[in-house]
Amino acid sequence: MKRHDGKQRNIYDEYLERDFTDAPESEGLALPLDRRQFLQLAGGGIAVAFCIPGSLLAQQRGRRGGEGQQLPEDFNAFLRIGEDGRVTGFTGKVELGQGIITSLAQMLADELDVPLESVDMVMGDTDLCPWDRGTFGSMTTRFFGPPFRAAAAEAKAVLVELAAEKLGVTKDRLKTRDGAVYDDAGQKKVTYAELAKGKKILRHLKGAPVEKPGEFTLVGKGLDRRDAVEKVTGRAKYAGDIREPGMLCARILRPPSHDAKFLRVDTSAAREVAGTQVVQDGDLIAVLHESPDLAEQALARLKPEYDQPAASVDDRTIFDHLLKVAPPGETVAEGGNLGAGQSAAHHVVENTYLNSYVAHAPMEPHTALAKVEGNKVTIWASTQTPFALKDEAASLLGLPAQNVRVITPYVGGGFGGKSNNRQALEAVRLAKLTGKPVQVAWTRAEEFFYDTFRPAAVVKVRAGVTEAGLISFWDYGVYFAGERGSQHFYDIPNHRTVAYSGGWTGVPGSHPFATGPWRAPANNTNTFARESHIDALAAKAGIDPVEFRLKNLKDPRMRRVLEAAAKKFGWSPAKAPSGRGYGVACGTDVGTVVAHIAEVAVNKQTGSVRVKRVVCAQEMGLCVNPEGARIQMEGCITMGLGYALAEEIKFAGGKIHDSNFDTYTLPRFSWLPEIETVIVDAKESPAQGGGEPAVICMGGVLANAVFDATGARVLQLPMTPERIKAALARV
Amino acid sequence: MRENVQLKLNGKPVSLEVDPGRPLLWVLRYDLGLTGTKYGCGEGHCGACTVLVEGSAVRSCLLRVGAVAGKEVTTIEGLARGSELHPVQKAFAEHDALQCGYCTPGMILNAVSLLRNIPRPTRSQIIETMEGNLCRCGAHKRIIEAIESAAQAMGGGQR
Ligand code: FES
Ligand code: FES
């Protein structure tokens, strides 16, 4: 994407320096609005523009991203006190499950002293909200709360200024209550509506303010949670719940595999199903009906023919293939002298770690409804990137972007997968072809077929430890996962980290289907490999794995979380394998550090693993909403059980064998360990990400626990019973 | 192939002219506009489409609409009494037992069915009953806690 490269950023930044004065739309920047456009967008009243940082923003800006994010200076949100006195928050971010649609309304109500009922949130609507890159990962309230609150405070300051003028009272004698400003004697009063009437005031907050802990009253819990009530009553609308008069449901003919070549199709039998419309437009062949199940029946009557090339790679051979096609590596970090480190080593351990393709599998498959009226397009989509979709749809139809409106209802999970808007573009095409509103709701099979999987990856590590138990060298190469999380944080004098194909989308000829970012992209793979290898070194050195880490760790934050996790767990030192089934792993992601300790039981006959307990300590700088952070940590731990133990896509060439949850297993209730979360206090440092870090250690911590239980080191994720049995056989 | 199918839906009689072989899920969502019942897999693997038939949890993606003729069907929209939430709905909201919320209607209805059969379930009975309901957001821990607290609030009785 053009706008993510460095050059574009600079233009963007420069543009913003000018603070919304008219600027040319240079190089097709569909970026911020000029002042005039903005005021149109905001309507009358009092508006405050500000910015919500995105979790992966830094990543998109540069290759070294992911850590040390900078806050952008642009704005992607604003709030308005309308001429009717209602407060509305606008942001292009979408609600994926963070609960912000309600908690932010509450926060605005709090800060502005208005009843909750007079606050609205408008999210992910490209006609009403300012441009935004997209909602990535599971963003916690830390991104949203402080800037919203600061903007509300700014708006309140404007209201008080206006009231002082209007009432002829000095500002220090004014108070706000219930949507109005009063003087302290209680004699004079003016409502927000009266103050906002006929005004067009715009303030712009630069930078992002930091919340002070005591100020944080974001409750967002219980029955106050608007989205919770909507969601428990079935009233919450997702993209598939939107209905338009005359709407048709489309089912699209899919190839049997990603590498199949379409030859021809006989549509005659499908046309016989009453009420069915068949559309054929180049590669797009669809049947449409008022009901999706009847469209499905018609789809089954299509007789297509394909040319299917022989599969050249499958889920077993993919790793050799990836190593073969890997581009030259790029050094991510290095220091010291590997040769010197090798001579100092008493033990050297060399392993190759693998992980398979993993699906996002949100419970809501990709869904969209598109309506084309003349040269205007409206799309309701389950998407993490409504603004990207707007541009994509506009260029698909050759329309100016302003003719396209994307509306994002509640999204039923994303995890990175809903940055791909294929389903919405299919709906747009079909709506254009049929002249009717068209819903495209992928089946579970389509969701598996077109998912942008977490890539299969290989990590090769060679490292040594001295007689004194100090790591003397570390030589690390990661292939195809991506480099996020690849740098170690231990105290190792001689080291090198190399990334072969730095991105998760691979290079041409690498993956037989699409891959992309998956919750804490790359870091799950890297943390699994690193922490498994650290453990292997500890075992070789005959040192307790917690002690070994502390011995080789100077980073004070990492030491603190590791010590906190060990304390909470009640760790007693023993060298592995101790037979207890205890494992430990540490990691860092989006500026947050985590340490996990797990207890497992392994059935050596069947190779199955029962995770009994997971303790996770997390230091995320200032934690503004501990309960919210815990929910995210629990979600990460539960989700992480899947890629660690069971989840992997089986395929042959471009044919995906998994099409539903019968073969592709997600974590279930019976898998749930006892989960204990510890938030390590660090009020003095800025808030860091909380939606992803706790997922990254799950592979490593469970692999290390399995080793401690059995003495078998499993080098490949997921650790299926077969792989565990195979590893046991090698012991 | 259309036939007249009559049922009691969320307490009200409904009469449909419909092919009785069609899955109840789609009839609910498209013919009747009750979109709270969700599609997650279409093959009985996820529980997102769970409804109550005569008070018991059933997967509507696998159920022919003809099979509910003459029966009482409750969807998530019919669980609350006016603005008063069912204790299970209330507990889900209070315990943050949902994130994206897409699995939530199915989870709640399956839990309601559980508490009807076993008013004071043990934790392992809860796990066993909920096992077939999938949640990708990982809200499992809080869902179990919500069901336990709903069972307590209901005091072993029915609503
Ligand atoms: S949609 Fe019916 S069980 Fe998944
Ligand atoms: S809350 Fe998202 S799937 Fe359960």
In the reported structure, the alpha carbon of residue B63 is separated from the centroid of ligand 1 by a whole-number distance in angstroms of 10
How many other CB atoms sit within 10 Å of the CB of residue A161? 15
Amino acid, single-letter form, for residue A476 = Y
B144 touching chain A per CB within 8 A: yes
pLDDT band of A32, cuts 50, 70, 90? very low
Contact criterion met (CB below 8 Å) for B139 and B120? no
Distance (Å) from the alpha carbon of B140 to chain A's nearest alpha carbon = 6
The candidate with the shortest Cα–Cα distance to A430, out of A405, A393, A384, A389, is A393
**Residues B34 and B71 grouped into a single domain:** yes
Q: Which atom of ligand 2 is nearest to the CA of B137?
A: 2
What separation in Å is there between the alpha carbon of A27 and the centre of ligand 2? 41
Alpha-carbon span A387 to A406, nearest angstrom: 7
**pLDDT at residue A38 in the model:** 60
d(CA A273, CA A271): 5
- Cα separations in angstroms, A514 against A258, A397, A450: 9, 24, 7
Q: Is A413 in the pocket of ligand 2 (CB under 6 A)?
A: yes
A610 touches B: beta carbon within 8 Å: no
Quote ipTM for the complex: 0.98
pLDDT tens-place string over residues A76-131: 778 899 999 999 998 888 888 777 777 788 888 888 999 888 999 999 999 888 77
- Percent of chain A residues topping a pLDDT of 90: 70
Is the per-residue pLDDT at A216 higher than 70? no
- Three-class secondary structure of residue A615 per DSSP: strand
Q: Are B48 and B96 part of one and the same domain?
A: no
- The β-bridge relationship of strands A674-679 and A609-619 is parallel
Residue A34 CB burial class (10 angstroms; 0-12, 13-18, ≥19): middle
The atom number, within ligand 2, closest to the CA of A413 reads 2
- Asked whether residue B26 is assigned to any structural domain, the reply reads yes
B54 falls within a domain? yes
B69 contact A CB<8A? no
pLDDT value for A166: 93
**pLDDT value, residue A27:** 28
To test ligand 2's pocket by mutation, which of B50, B96, B103 has the most ligand atoms within 8 angstroms of CB? B103
Q: Is the beta carbon of A65 within 6 A of some atom in ligand 2? A: no
Ligand nearest to the CA of A441: 1
Model pLDDT for residues B39-76, shown as the tens digit of each residue: 999 999 999 999 999 999 999 999 999 999 999 999 99
Extract the tokens encoding A282: 């180049």
Mark which residues 434-493 of A lie under 8 Å from B by CB: 441, 443-444
| Distance separating alpha carbons of residues A155 and A202, to the nearest angstrom | 9
What pLDDT was estimated at residue A111?
A: 86
- What pLDDT does residue A8 have? 29
Q: Do B22 and A293 touch (CB under 8 A)?
A: yes
Q: Which residue of A has its CA nearest to B124?
A: A670
Q: What is the CATH number of the domain that holds B70?
A: 3.10.20.30
Question: What residues are in contact with ligand 1 under a 6 Å CB criterion?
Answer: B 39-42, 44-49, 59, 61
CB within 8 Å: B37 and A234 = yes
* Interval B115-125 mean pLDDT: 97
Give the residue-averaged pLDDT of A56-70.
32
Shortest Cα distance from A232 to chain B (angstroms)?
A: 5
Q: What are phi and psi of A462, to 5 degrees?
A: -130, 125
Tell me if A635 CB under 6 Å of ligand 2: no
pLDDT for residue A37: 57
Cα(A401) to centroid(ligand 1), Å: 37
**Residues of chain A numbered 617-646 and touching chain B (CB < 8 Å):** 627, 631, 634-639
Confidence of residue A204 (pLDDT cuts 50, 70, 90): confident
Single out the residue in B52, B78, B104 at which a domain terminates. B78
Q: Is residue B15 part of a domain?
A: yes
Output the pLDDT for position A548.
98
**Among the three residues B78, B106, B139, which one is the final residue of a domain in this structure?**
B78
B135: contact with A, CB 8 A cutoff? yes
pLDDT category at A142 given cuts 50, 70, 90 is: low
Give chain B's domain count. Answer: 2
| pLDDT level of residue A212 (50, 70, 90 thresholds) | low
Q: How confident is the model at residue A692 (pLDDT cuts 50, 70, 90)?
A: confident
Break chain A into its structural domains and give their ranges. Answer: 11-236, 240-308+366-441, 318-358+453-730
List the CATH number of the domain containing B130: 1.10.150.120
Window 695-724 of A: residues touching B by CB (8 A cutoff) are none
Q: How many CB atoms lie within 10 A of CB A259?
A: 18
Is A216 touching B (CB cutoff 8 A)? no
In this prediction, residue A61 carries a pLDDT of 36
Q: What's the Rg (C-alpha) of chain B? A: 15
Q: Beta strand A404-407 with A303-307: parallel, antiparallel or unpaired?
A: unpaired
Residue A135 pLDDT class (50, 70, 90 cuts):
confident
CATH topology classification for A318-358+453-730 = Aldehyde Oxidoreductase; domain 4 (3.30.365)
Residue that terminates a domain, selected from B45, B60, B78? B78
* Pair (B101, B71) in one structural domain: no
**CATH code that applies to domain A240-308+366-441:** 3.30.365.10
CA of A9 relative to ligand 2 center, distance in Å: 35
Using left for φ > 0, alpha for ψ between -120 and 50, and beta otherwise, residue B101 falls in left
Measured in whole angstroms, the distance separating CA A434 from the mean position of its chain's CA atoms is 35
- Tell me, yes or no, if B100 comes closer than 8 A to chain A by beta carbon: yes
**Contact between residue A591 and residue A68 where contact means Cβ atoms under 8 Å apart:** yes
DSSP label of A393:
H
Picking from B26, B33, B102, the nearest residue to A243 by CB comes out as B33
Return the pLDDT at A621.
82
Domain residues for B69? 3-78
In three-state secondary structure terms, A381 is strand
* Domain-embedded: residue B158: no
What's the whole-number mean pLDDT along residues B98-115? 97
Tell me the backbone φ, ψ of residue B84, rounded to 5 degrees: -90, 115
Instruction: Say if the Cβ atoms of A413 and B102 lie within 8 Å.
Output: yes
- Beta-carbon contacts of B124 under 8 Å, excluding residues fewer than 6 positions away, are none
Provide the CATH number for the domain formed by A11-236 in this structure: 3.30.365.10
**Beta bridge mates, A280:** A285
CB contact under 8 A, A631 and B79: no
Q: With CB atoms and an 8 Å threshold, state whether A231 touches B26.
A: no
CB-based contact (8 Å) between B153 and chain A?
Answer: no
**Confidence (pLDDT) at A69:** 30
In whole angstroms, give the CA distance from residue B110 to residue B116: 10
Residues 6+ positions from A572 with CB-CB distance below 8 Å = none
Contact across the interface for B98 and A249, Cβ inside 8 Å: no
Both B45 and B62 in one domain: the answer is: yes
Chain A residue with the nearest C-alpha to that of B139:
A635
Does B9 share its domain with B70?
yes
Structure confidence at residue A137 (pLDDT): 54
Residue B159 lies in a domain: no
Please indicate whether the domains covering A240-308+366-441 and A318-358+453-730 agree at the CATH topology level. Answer: yes
Q: Where residue B148 falls among pLDDT bands split at 50, 70, 90?
A: very high
- pLDDT mean over A224-246: 91
Interval A332-371: pLDDT, tens: 999 999 999 999 999 999 999 999 999 999 999 999 999 9
Mean pLDDT of B15-42: 97
| CB neighbours of residue A21 within 10 Å | 10
Among chain A residues, the shortest Cα distance to B1 is held by A274
Q: Under DSSP, is residue A210 helix (H, G, I), strand (E, B) or coil?
A: coil
Instruction: Compute the mean pLDDT over every residue in chain A, rounded to the nearest whole number.
Output: 87
- pLDDT for A35: 54
Q: Each residue of A389-443: pLDDT tens digit?
A: 999 999 999 999 999 999 999 999 999 899 999 999 999 999 999 999 999 999 9
Q: Hey, which of A218-222, A308-312, A456-460 has the most confident mean pLDDT?
A: A456-460
Question: Is the minimum CB–CB distance between B110 and chain A shorter than 8 Å?
Answer: no
A97 contacts B99? CB cut-off 8 A: yes
Closest chain A residue to B28, measured at CA: A291
pLDDT of residue A207: 55
Note the pLDDT of residue A18: 24
pLDDT one-digit tens code per residue, A583-613: 999 999 988 999 999 999 999 999 999 999 9
Judge whether B119 lies within some domain.
Answer: yes
Q: Quick check: B30 and A292 CB within 8 A?
A: yes
